[in-house]
Chain A
Amino acid sequence: SQTIHQWPATLVQPVGSPLSLECTVEGTSNPNLYWYRQAAGRGLQLLFYSVGIGQISSEVPQNLSASRPQDRQFILSSKKLLLSDSGFYLCAWSEWGITPFFGQGTRLTVV
């Protein structure tokens, strides 16, 4: 069966520091991968999605970037965090025609 792993679960980082959140999927090949951000108690905003290795689509301009160095690995990064980058970050995967499944999320607090 397929599983998705996302880490770390929580992270506290100072303003101006770099960021790297990692997401890996097991049990499937060539999945669609997504990064979402969620403000407290609200809906999910799609940040990036990828349909294959090295293929990244950005939905909104921001201080973040994404990379997909391997088929089942999706990384969310920032060179210098801003206070406004705080939030709950969710990775998800899907196959064509199948509803996405989500990781457990990373709570990022920028201080």
Chain B
Amino acid sequence: TQLLEQSPQFLSIQEGENLTVYCNSSSVFSSLQWYRQEPGEGPVLLVTVVTGGEVKKLKRLTFQFGDARKDSSLHITAAQPGDTGLYLCAIQGAQKLVFGQGTRLTINP
């Protein structure tokens, strides 16, 4: 079983729409990271959330860490084709980073 479950696995929407993707676990984490990865490249860190209930905004992206620090969401407002990519959540255990399976997001012009 996956330590981190991401949903949906695939999402294809039209430019201008809003969307939310989720990262869930049965475990409590001290922090959680969100990455975006484009084809043929390594993941790039978007944000780290640390405090339960924390909300961080990065332009049109809003990240939330659940109150119980067991889940997180990423909301994108007015999606643009440049938002297309694989969105990965990850948690840092002892000495290593563990990833979810990712959400493949496609924004159609």
- On whether the two chains bind one another, the answer is yes
- Contacts from A to B (Cβ < 8 Å): 32, 34, 36, 41-46, 49, 51, 57, 59, 88, 90, 92, 94, 99-105, 107
Contacts of B100 in A (CB 8 A): 43
Complex Cα distance, B95 from A46, in Å, reads 12
Most buried by A among B86, B88, B96: B96
Establish whether residues B41 and A43, one from each chain, have CB atoms under 8 Å apart when the complex forms: no
What would be 5 A-B contacts, judged by CB atoms less than 8 Å apart? Answer: A43-B88, A43-B102, A46-B97, A99-B33, A102-B42
In the complex, A103→B40 CA distance in Å? 11
Q: Report whether A44 and B45 are in contact in the complex, using a CB–CB cutoff of 8 Å.
A: no
Residue of A nearest to B43 (CB): A102
Q: Mark B78-108, 1 if CB is under 8 A from A, else 0.
A: 0000000010100010011111111010000
Contacts A32-B95, A49-B95 hold; do A105 and B41 have CB atoms under 8 A apart?
yes
Report Cα–Cα, A83/B50, bound state, in Å.
Answer: 40
- Contact between B42 and A103 (Cβ–Cβ < 8 Å)? yes
A44→B40 contact, CB < 8 A: no
Contacts of B98 in A (CB 8 A): 46
CB-CB contacts below 8 Å: B11-66 with A: 33, 40-45, 48
Q: Do residues B97 and A34 form an inter-chain contact, with CB atoms below 8 A?
A: yes
B40 and A107 contact, CB distance less than 8 A: yes
B48 — nearest CB in chain A belongs to which residue?
A: A99
A-side contacts of B92, CB under 8 Å: 99
